[in-house]
Amino acid sequence: MLADQPIRQFLDALASDSPTPGGGGAAALTGALGAALVAMTANLTVGRKNYQDVEAEMQALVRRSDELRAQLTALIDEDAGAFDQVSAAYRLPRASDEEKQARSAAIQSALKAASDPPLRMVEAARQVLDLSVPAAQRGNANLVSDAAVAAYLALAAMHGARLNVEINLRSIKDEAFVHAARSRLDSAFAGANDLVAAVERAVAERG
């Protein structure tokens, strides 16, 4: 399991000549790091005398960011497994017409499956971005820069994962599938830059 590797080992694997882990795994890890920073900001707010009025909100942020961190961490391995299935489909024999048809069908199926993990990364990272705003605005003011880093990491994860979705969609022939996936991407990115701007304002006002 890639997600269970020590960080140095994972980075060595990322830098190696193996295609997995790759950009998708890196995007998932980036989003998970953002979620962890949201949780840290909230955890260092909970129990503080000056933040009693946001205690319940910060506790909820901890719970939700921990859930998202787990989701994004799991997607590191899901993405690698999906990529391996695409590679296997492309290696299928194609000597006869029957083999060509079977290979083509297998490739299309694998590409659809491979678009799912990074699409879910985009959506999970968007939720991390959402959480970074209240963390920056109402969390411990000493941690406002950490909440801002969480926002930037979440946005980077979204863009990285989106590229992986789009690369798969370009080769998928099912137009309805492609349209539905791109609609989900559009929904996830709607207003994302405004959220980053809100975090930046919180840093300027509270930092």
pLDDT in tens, the chain (207 residues): 888 889 999 999 999 999 889 999 999 999 999 999 999 999 999 999 999 999 999 999 999 999 999 999 999 999 999 999 999 999 999 999 999 999 999 999 999 999 999 999 999 999 999 999 999 999 999 999 999 999 999 999 999 999 999 999 999 999 999 999 999 999 999 999 999 999 999 999 997
Domains of the chain: 21-206 (1.20.120.680)
Altogether, the residues listed in the chain come to a count of 207
> Which parts of the chain fold into alpha helices (H)?
7-15, 23-43, 55-90, 97-138, 144-169, 175-189, 192-206
**This model's pTM is above 0.75:** yes
Give me Rg for the CA atoms of the chain.
Answer: 20
